[in-house]
Amino acid sequence: MSAPLDTATPRFEPDDLEAFRRELTGYCYRMLGSGSEAEDAVQEAMVRAWKAADRFEGRSSLRSWLYRITTNVCLDMLRGSQRRARPMELGSSVPVDVDLAGIAVLPEHAWVLPIADDRVLPVDADPADVAAARESIRLAFVAALQHLPARQRAALILCEVLKWQATEAAELLDTSVASINSALQRARATLAARAAEVPESPPAAEPINPQQQALLERFVDAFERYDVEQLVTLLHDDVQFSMPPYDMWLEGPGSVSGWLVGQGIGCQGSRLLPVPSANGTAAFASYRVDPAGGHTPFAIQLIEVSGDRIVGFHNFLDTTLFEEFGLPAHLD
């Protein structure tokens, strides 16, 4: 007869929990669509786990137990919350001459926000696993996930992103394998329907190759010199340009060019700092000229590249992201 489980003392230390922080942050980011909310959710899950340490019996792995707690935190946070989205999902592209003053400015919780890859991607993992993880944090994919009911979302991420078995997901979500399989089927159908309704997303994110790195260097040079004529030669015919929190987006080099030389002219004289890749793609921090001297934070730019052209040019004007990305608050 086996000895009874000792539930009087914790079966793990705080460092054991910390070892899962990165992957849990990635899970919460896909669930919630916001890096800051993901970190809040993971921190709350860590606190709940430590408080319940004496009740961890070791019948399941510590990882599975943590995922159960973290999932419950996310489900709590998603109750009654508004779905996050990208501008391309909220309506048609706008004319280049639209007055920015007349465009709606939506609150932070309306948008899927970027996150630095190094906060969520696995380290020292198989390259194929890293590539799959990179694809699963792309803005378009994370935004698509937000259309799923919370429990369907969790099932899809667990089974199709994290590669859990349906039996494991069913145990975590306190349901049956049949219910998990049904949820996955409905989730796939919803994602397929959404893909048919919104503008086609850029091709799958791949690691930047030397030719594309040279393309990005030309982009930085052209943007900092504000050579719009040169910059638009780097753009794909179907390039998408967006600027959350403004509820607007543009399509095509001509529209982007018209915007930059018109209402975007305030970006003249900007400096760009490279950011460790975000959402599986290249990223830069844009600093505008500060009338008092130097440069002040303006936007986090995500630059999606396919082949030899830029297919996505997305500007997130929420300057609180600079702190999340570990960026300086001012440039001299």
pLDDT digits 0-9 by tens, 293-320:
999 999 999 999 999 999 999 999 999 9
Torsion of CA 108, 183, 199, 265, to 10 degrees: 20
> Of 200, 246, 286, 223, which is closest to residue 98 (Cα–Cα)?
246
The total domain count for the chain is 2
**pLDDT (0 to 100) of residue 16:** 82
> Of 130, 167, 150, which is closest to residue 28 (Cα–Cα)?
150
Domain assignment of residue 306, yes or no = yes
Phi-psi region of 163 (alpha: psi -120 to 50; beta: other; left: phi over 0): left
**pLDDT (0 to 100) of residue 6:** 41
**Mean model confidence pLDDT for the chain:** 91
Domain assignment of residue 7, yes or no = no
Q: What is the mean pLDDT of residues 198-212?
A: 72
Q: Is 113 helix (H, G, I), strand (E, B) or coil?
A: coil
- From 172, 197, 222, the end of a domain falls on 197
**pLDDT (0 to 100) of residue 114:** 97
Q: Is the pLDDT of residue 2 over 50?
A: no
Q: Are residues 160 and 104 in the same domain?
A: yes
Q: Are residues 29 and 137 in the same domain?
A: yes
Q: Are residues 159 and 214 in the same domain?
A: no
**pLDDT (0 to 100) of residue 5:** 37
DSSP state of 160: I
Q: What is the mean pLDDT of residues 230-252?
A: 97
Domain assignment of residue 203, yes or no = no
Range of the domain at 71: 14-197
Upper half-sphere CA count for residue 4 (Cβ side, 13 Å):
3
**pLDDT (0 to 100) of residue 200:** 62
Q: What is the mean pLDDT of residues 110-127?
A: 91
**pLDDT (0 to 100) of residue 3:** 36
**pLDDT (0 to 100) of residue 201:** 57
Q: Are residues 117 and 244 in the same domain?
A: no
Q: Are residues 122 and 66 in the same domain?
A: yes
Mean pLDDT check: name the lowest of 174-178, 204-208, 211-215, 290-294: 204-208
Tokens of 48: 């709940």
Q: Is the pLDDT of residue 4 over 50?
A: no
Query: Is residue 193 packed enough to be buried (19+ CB in 10 Å), middle (13-18) or exposed (0-12)?
Result: exposed
Measured distance CA(259)–CA(261) in Å, rounded: 6
Q: Is 192 helix (H, G, I), strand (E, B) or coil?
A: helix
Q: Are residues 191 and 292 in the same domain?
A: no
How much of the chain, in percent, has pLDDT values that exceed 90?
78
Measured distance CA(260)–CA(223) in Å, rounded: 10
- From 131, 162, 197, the end of a domain falls on 197
Q: Is the pLDDT of residue 205 over 80?
A: no
Q: If you search the block for the tokens 């000895």, which residue do you land on?
A: 3
Q: Are residues 214 and 132 in the same domain?
A: no
pLDDT digit string (tens) for 24-41? 999 999 999 999 999 999
Contact 112, 143 (CB under 8 A): yes
**pLDDT (0 to 100) of residue 266:** 94
pLDDT digit string (tens) for 44-92? 999 999 898 888 876 678 999 999 999 999 999 999 888 999 999 999 9
Largest CA distance in the chain: 79
Confidence class of residue 323 from pLDDT cuts 50, 70 and 90?
very high
> Of 301, 302, 297, which is closest to residue 320 (Cα–Cα)?
297
Q: Is the pLDDT of residue 194 over 90?
A: no
- From 156, 172, 197, the end of a domain falls on 197
Q: Is the dihedral of CA 32, 34, 38, 40 positive or negative?
A: negative
Confidence class of residue 13 from pLDDT cuts 50, 70 and 90?
confident
**pLDDT (0 to 100) of residue 183:** 97
| φ/ψ (deg, to 5) at 298 | -130, -55
Q: Are residues 317 and 182 in the same domain?
A: no
Selected residue with higher pLDDT from 128 and 158? 158
Q: What is the mean pLDDT of residues 6-34?
A: 83
Measured distance CA(327)–CA(276) in Å, rounded: 11
Q: Are residues 191 and 244 in the same domain?
A: no
Beta strand spans in the chain (E): 235-242, 249-251, 271-278, 281-289, 295-306, 309-316
**pLDDT (0 to 100) of residue 10:** 54
